Amino acid sequence: MRRFALAPLILALGLPLLADNHKKIRLPTIEEAKYFSNEVIKKECINKKNIQECESKYVTKKFKLAEQIFFSCEKLPDPNGCKSFELYMAGTLDSNRILNQIRNQCKSSKDYMLCFSETESKERTRLEIKRNKEKLILVHKCKEKLDCYYDANGDYYLDKNSFKVTSDDFVVYNQRRYTYPWGVDGTKSKNQNLGKFEEIERIGIDCKNRTRLSLSGNYNLKFSKDVSKQELKNNSSYLMNDQIFKLSCEGKIHPSINKTASQIIFGNMNELDQIQFDLRMNTNSKNKTNPKESKFHEECKNANDYFGCINYKENK
Q: Hey, is 314 helix, strand or coil? A: helix
* pLDDT confidence bin for 20, thresholds 50/70/90: very low
pLDDT bin (cut points 50, 70, 90) of residue 27 is confident
Measured at the CA of 113, the angle between CA 110 and CA 119, to 5 degrees, comes to: 95
Give the separation between CA 221 and CA 205, rounded to whole angstroms.
9
Residue 16 has pLDDT above 80, yes or no: no
**Better-predicted residue by pLDDT, 153 or 266:** 266
Instruction: Indicate the average pLDDT of the chain.
Output: 80
DSSP at 236? T
Helix (H) or strand (E) holding 171, with range, is strand 171-179
Q: How far is CA 45 from CA 29, 33, 38, 88, in A?
A: 20, 16, 11, 20
Average pLDDT over residues 61-90: 90
> What's the maximum distance between 2 C-alpha atoms anywhere in the chain?
81
Contacts of 69 (CB under 8 A, 6+ apart): 27, 28, 82, 83, 86, 87
Percent of the chain predicted with pLDDT > 70: 77
Write the single-letter amino acid at 157.
Answer: Y
Separation CA 203–CA 185 (nearest Å): 27
**CA-wise closest residue to 216 among 284, 310, 134:** 310
Dump pLDDT digits (tens) for 302-312.
565 566 676 66
Distance between CA atoms of residues 213 and 124, nearest Å = 27
pLDDT at 3: 43
Q: Which of 55-64, 111-120, 265-274 has the highest mean pLDDT?
A: 111-120
**Cross-strand partners of 214:** 217
What are the residue ranges spanned by the domains of the chain?
A: 6-116, 129-269
Q: How far is CA 251 from CA 134, 245, 246, 254, 261, in A?
A: 21, 11, 8, 9, 21
Angle between helices 51-73 and 38-45 (to 10 degrees): 150
Average pLDDT over residues 155-177: 94
